Amino acid sequence: MVWVEHRRKKSPFFFRMLLVVCIGLGIYILFSTLFQKPAVISPLADTPSMTTSTKTRTSVLSVFSKKKNPDELQEKIKEAIGLTWKNYSILVIDTTSDFKVGINEDEIFTAASVNKIPILAALYTKAQSGEVDLDEVITLQAEDIQDYGTGSIRYEKPGTTYTIKTLAKLMMQQSDNTAAYILANHIIGIDTIQELLSSWNMTQTDMAGNKTSNADIALLMKKIYQGGIANVASTKEMLAFFKDGEFEDRIPGALPKDVEVYHKIGTEIGIMHDVGIVALPTTKYYIGMMVSDVTNEDETTKLMATVSKLVYDYMK
C-alpha cells in the first residue's frame, strides 16, 4: 500500500489573525519610538570607564568655563572697600598660574609685626646651613624684655629659658615682640637678615627701618611655602607657626573653618596688615592687605575679613 500525503489548505481565519498581529506589532514599535524617554546622563565625574563621546563632551564644556579675570576681581575689591580706607595695598597672586591682582602693591608701608616673617625665614636659612641650632637654650635677660604689644614672654622673669625654636614659635603664633627682638638681634643679626633679603630680591624691605611692601612679602611667602628656604620637615614646621596663630579675625575671619590659611598680622597705631597663603584643593593664592591711617580697628578688621571672603569666593 502506498501512503499518499494529503496537504490541508490553511483557512482564511489564520491569515486574518496573522495580519492583526503584524499590525499590532507595528503600532507598538511606532509608539515606543515616538514616546521613548531620553537617555539618562550620569552625574558622576569623568572616570576611565566613560565613553569617548562623554569625554569629548566634557572637554568641550571645559572650553566654555569662565576664566578668572583680574580686572573683574579688582573691581569687586575696590567696590567693597569704597572710601573706607584712605591708604592701602591689596595683592592677590595665584601661585599656580599667572593670575594677579595688584592695588598699590609696590607702595612701602611700616611693616609692624609683618617684619617677623623675614626674621623667621632668615633663622631657618641659618638653621638649614648649620649655623644655628634650633634646640639651643636661651636664657631671658632683663634688657631683652620688650614690655609692649603682644606676646607672653614680657610677663616672665629674667632667667626663664627657651629653646630658639620655641622663641620662633612664640614670635609667629603670639606675635611676641621679645622673642622677635632676641632672634633678630642676638641669634641672627639685623645686618645678616638684610643681606639675605637683598639676595632674595626684596628691595623694598628695610629691617632696621621696619619698612616693607606687599610685593616683597608676597615674594618671601611664596618662597617659604614652596620650600625655597629649608627642607621639607623645616618648611612644615614654619608653616605650622603661620597656621596656628592667636589672631584669626582678618584673612581667615569669614572663611570656612576647614580652609588652610598660613598668615601673619601686623598692628601698630594707625597700621593694620595681614598677609599670607590660602591653600585650596584646586589652587593656592597669596593675599596681602596693608592699611595705614586706620582710625577704627574694629571696622578695618571686619572689612579685611570681607575682602578676604570676596577673594576666596572668586578664586575657589
Confidence of residue 244 (pLDDT cuts 50, 70, 90): confident
The answer to whether residue 34 scores a pLDDT higher than 50 is no
Among residues of the chain, what percentage have pLDDT more than 70? 79
The CA R_g of the chain, rounded to the nearest whole Å, is 34
pLDDT at 67: 80
CA proximity to 164, closest of 237, 253, 103, 76: 237
Are 84 and 307 spatial neighbours (Cβ–Cβ below 8 Å)?
Answer: no
Among residues of the chain, what percentage have pLDDT more than 90? 77
* CA dihedral of 297, 303, 309, 312, whole degrees rounded to 10: -90
Cell, residue 43: 552625574
- DSSP E strands in 95-182: the ranges are 100-103, 108-110, 137-139, 161-163
The answer to whether residue 61 scores a pLDDT higher than 50 is no
Rounded-to-integer distance, Cα 257 and Cα 251, Å:
12
Write down all domains in the chain, each with its CATH number in brackets: 70-315 (3.40.710.10)
List, for residues 291-312, the tens digit of each pLDDT value: 999 999 999 999 999 999 999 9
Residue 280 main-chain phi, psi, to 5 deg: -110, 160
Residue 265 main-chain phi, psi, to 5 deg: -90, 165
Please identify which residue in the block is written with the cell numbers 619698612: 211
Rounded-to-integer distance, Cα 197 and Cα 201, Å:
6
Q: What is the pTM of this model?
A: 0.80
pLDDT at 44: 28
If phi > 0 it is left, if psi is from -120 to 50 it is alpha, else beta; for residue 277 that is beta
The answer to whether residue 96 scores a pLDDT higher than 60 is yes
Are 289 and 88 spatial neighbours (Cβ–Cβ below 8 Å)?
Answer: yes
Cβ-proximal residues to 149 (8 Å cutoff; 6+ apart), any chain: 113, 175, 177
> Which DSSP symbol is given to 183?
I
